[in-house]
Structure 1
Amino acid sequence: MKVVFMGTPDFSVPALEALVAAGHQVAGVVTQPDKPKGRGKEMQITAVKKAALSHGIPVYQPARVKGNPEFMTKLKEIDPEVIVVIAFGQILPKEILELPKYGCINIHASLLPKYRGAAPIQWAIIDGEKETGITTMYMEEGLDTGDMLLKTVIPIDEEETGGTLHDKLSAAGGPLIVETLEKLEAGSLERIPQEGESCYAKILTKSLGDIDWSMDAAAIERLIRGLLPWPSAYTRLEGRTVKIWKAGVLPEQGEKTAPGTVAAIGKESFSVQTGNGLLEVKELQPEGKKRMDAGAFLRGYPLKMGDVFERKQ
């Protein structure tokens, strides 16, 4: 099929590579504009642009696709049979949604209708889901509300992080979109309306990682995993930020203290009181230092029973 591909981050790349490998004619790639990054403010191209250029595919980078007559004219010139969208970063207007013969197909990183929105990967972990997946769907003007097509289910491991689940779902998107287009062209796809339980996966912010020690230890541990590697979970000790990278959950031991209080100290870890249970801290990163295991931290920092980790004020 003649395809226009819309995507931006590295999450989108396996889907583009799969379409090329399957022999589809990717006639154009649309991605976000290059942006300055780092201290030197050097212009960085998107992961999708890099992949497209490696295959000699024309790349278009409109600042806005909505209300952009020049871009719309270019799309009409290309005349794609289908537009494939995955983590593009812009809302498509009705005139684009209605342009291709086979419509616009989105690859979404959840088992719809659950976890519509910007951060479905991380919220599935934070909320304690046992499985998630990839859904291909027809795009409409609503946010992730179009009819579903195919799904791939991915189990969520007990030690799954936002980063590891990101990679699993990214890899699953390629085979699923190839199968979707194959069945779409053959006319054998069933359109499945989104019905039943739904929830919105709101965008991640740095403040989300500010640990509320009154929460259950299990909920805090999921928050830590879900926000790894970004924006990460953090707390404060004696006024300085401490990121928590890896933790476990332990039952209450002895008399319960105030949430955030250091309740036990071992050789390779220490435990902090929560609203329910203890959080065993295994890896952390003090402000201005590198990530380290808790044992190394304890050997270099005089942590004491009764010290208190606090939320940022």
Structure 2
Amino acid sequence: MKIVFMGTPDFARSALEKIIEAGHEVVLAVTQPDKPKGRSGELQISDVKACALEHGIPVFQPVRIRLPENVEELKKYDADIYVVAAFGQILSQEILDIPKFGCVNIHASILPEYRGAAPIQQAIIDGKKTTGVTIMQMAAGMDTGDILLQREIPITDDETGGGLFDKLSVLGGELIVEALPKIEAGELTPVPQDEERATKCGKLSKDMGRIDFEQDAEDIRNLVRGLNPWPSAFTYLGNKMLKIWQARTLSEIDFQRLAKDYSELSGKSAETAANSQPGAIALLTRDSFVVNCGSDYLQILEVQLEGKKRMDVKSFLLGNKLEVGTILK
């Protein structure tokens, strides 16, 4: 089929590459305008633009895709279908109606759960055990269109937002390649979404990463996993930001066992401050520190102090003095 592909980040690039490999004719790649990066302000092209240029595909970068002149530009390419993946702009009904087979979206959740901008990270933050990809016939609402094809995968206990992003990028590419010939042959039956089961998720922001130690330890661990690598979960040690990159949940029994094991290995009694206020360091070992939470404990394994490199806690403790009872805020 002749395809107009709309997308911007690396999640979309994976799908575009799979579509090209499958032999479809991509007549145009539509992506966000180049954006300045870093202090130099040098313009950076999107992952989709980079991929399109590598394959000799024309690129269109409208600031607002819905403007009449941009709609007319799209019509010039006479595509059979538009494939959209993390494009970053809302398509008007006029655009949705242009191609013969309409517009389909590659969405990184099992719709109707997690409509919106950050379904991958939110699934981990919420402690979900599974997620997946949906190929959806686009409608005017936000991720409200009929479901054409879905595939589910497990979320492992140590999964991070970055790791799951990579897995779903690959799955999205595989699923759209499977869906396209079936769409052309009329072999997929659109299934309306169950509005009663619909949930939404917003964009990621740096503020989301601020840890509230009044929460359950497992909820905090899920936040750490979901926001790794961006925007990252963080707290403050004194007046410096401390990013938490890896952590483990400990029950009361786990906590007492860790303290006992540390005492036996080190030959000295472990100083503890169990059941003190949330955010207080309750135990120090050679390679971790444990923080009181609203429920259970959080064992911190990998950190990054403001202005420093990311490192395991064993290395961190060699250069930074912590004490049991120190409060993280």
- Cα shift at 1:38: 1.3
- Cα shift at 1:239: 1.4
Task: Provide the rounded CA distance (Å) in 2 between the counterparts of 1:28 and 1:238.
Answer: 52
1:292 to 294, 308, 311: 311
- Cα shift at 1:298: 1.2
Amino acid aligned to 2:16: L
Q: Which residue of 1 aligns with 2:299?
A: 280
Q: Which residue of 1 aligns with 2:69?
A: 70
1:257 to 268, 273, 276: 276
- Cα shift at 1:94: 0.8
Write out per-residue CA displacement over residues 99-142 of structure 1, whole angstroms, 9 at most, x where no aligned residue: 11100000000000000000000000000100000000011110
Task: Provide the rounded CA distance (Å) in 2 between the counterparts of 1:198 and 1:279.
Answer: 32
Q: Which residue of 2 aligns with 1:10?
A: 10
3-state SS of paired residue (2:197): coil
- Superposition CA RMSD, Å: 0.9
Q: Which residue of 2 aligns with 1:304?
A: 323
3-state SS of paired residue (1:3): strand
Amino acid aligned to 2:322: L
Deviates more, 1:191-200 or 1:30-39: 191-200
3-state SS of paired residue (2:170): helix
Task: Provide the rounded CA distance (Å) in 1 between the counterparts of 2:174 and 2:328.
Answer: 45
Task: Provide the rounded CA distance (Å) in 1 between the counterparts of 2:217 and 2:312.
Answer: 19
* Seq. identity, %: 54
Q: Which residue of 1 aligns with 2:157?
A: 158
- Cα shift at 1:69: 2.1
Task: Provide the rounded CA distance (Å) in 1 between the counterparts of 2:140 and 2:57.
Answer: 28
Q: Which residue of 2 aligns with 1:214?
A: 214
Report whether the alignment pairs 1:200 with 2:219.
no
Task: Provide the rounded CA distance (Å) in 2 between the counterparts of 1:122 and 1:188.
Answer: 32
Amino acid aligned to 2:152: V
- Cα shift at 1:21: 1.1
* Aligned 1:1-313 pairs, distance under 5 A: 1-66=1-66, 68-195=67-194, 196-252=196-252, 253=255, 255-310=274-329
3-state SS of paired residue (2:76): helix
- Cα shift at 1:220: 0.2
Structure number with larger C-alpha Rg: 2
Amino acid aligned to 2:52: A
TM-score, structure 1 as length reference: 0.97
3-state SS of paired residue (1:309): coil
Amino acid aligned to 1:17: E
Q: Which residue of 1 aligns with 2:260?
A: none
Moved over 4 A (4+): none
3-state SS of paired residue (1:11): helix
Amino acid aligned to 2:224: I
Write out per-residue CA displacement over residues 66-107 of structure 1, whole angstroms, 9 at most, x where no aligned residue: 1x2222112111111100000000000110011111000000
Task: Provide the rounded CA distance (Å) in 1 between the counterparts of 2:241 and 2:22.
Answer: 48
